[in-house]
Structure 1
Amino acid sequence: MIKHEAIHHVSLIVSDIERARAFYKEILGLREIPRPPFDFPGEWFAVGETGQQLHLIVHDGQTKRTGGIDTRDGHFAIRVGDFDETVEWLRQHGIEHRANRDSITGFAQIFLLDPDRNVIELNAARR
């Protein structure tokens, strides 16, 4: 049997590394971490303080997503400390999102798209 410890990283395809870096650093508040000298552009970020990471990989092709925020589409989730503060931060920065404080999941959810239309869930404990 495989003994799981945690998700180490999630990788996302982006088309413009500077635009993506700004979004993940300035909007989501992730911290850049060292990345090996691969022969293609990208960026790595720490997610929280437990060793989990987000890896951005530049890809010259187009992403397949063309529609709006679809909560049933492939996505990754980051737990945030405060639902209301997060929603307000997104509003202040003009980030389109779908928020559901009373999700059937048992925790509050916020869905948004990054600049390359990757779906992101931000969720918080209900208070």
Structure 2
Amino acid sequence: MVEAAGEGVSLNHIAIESSDIKRLTKFYKEMFGFEEVETPNFGDNHFKIDDVPPSSSIVKDPSHVRTGQHLCFTISNFHSFLQTLKEKGIEISEINNNIKRVFFYDPDGNGLEVVSS
């Protein structure tokens, strides 16, 4: 984990690929309570990835989430969040050690980890 060296430092963005941005936006809003913000105008430097594979071709086994390439969130209501994942039919891989955490994929196959605070 990396901690900010001082005040005024915050996460700017995380870039992930999507074959269906509306579906992915809905997922993050429902699962994490994220708010949708207006996309900035990046001008000529903005790029679009057109070769994102359809989600049906993505490996869905959460035990294969690449630990070196994933997003991780800390959640205070871990058990409730875990129940929500199960209710939505999202396959998970739980790690049973001294840290309560779970791995799973978003609809576009981006690896996610959620740990209990």
Letter of the structure 2 residue corresponding to residue 98 of structure 1: S
Q: Which has the higher contact order (CA 8 A, sep 6+)?
A: 2
Change over 3 Å in CA distance of 1:92–1:84 after alignment to 2: same
Matched, 1:96 2:91: yes
Contact 1:14 1:58 in 2 (8 A): no
Greater fraction strand: 1
Specify the alignment match of 1:81 in structure 2.
76
> Structure 1 unaligned runs (5+)?
40-56
**Cα RMSD (Å) of the superposition?**
2.7
Contact 1:15 1:58 in 2 (8 A): no
In structure 2, the residue corresponding to 1:117 is in which secondary structure?
A: coil
> Structure 2 unaligned runs (5+)?
none
Specify the alignment match of 2:27 in structure 1.
23
1:59 CA drift (Å): 2.5
Greater fraction helix: 2
Structure 1 residues 1-127: aligned runs within 5 Å: 4=5, 5-38=9-42, 59-63=49-53, 66-67=58-59, 68-69=61-62, 70-73=64-67, 74-100=69-95, 102-103=96-97, 106-125=98-117
Specify the alignment match of 1:44 in structure 2.
none
Change over 3 Å in CA distance of 1:115–1:58 after alignment to 2: farther
Contact 2:72 2:112 in 1 (8 A): yes
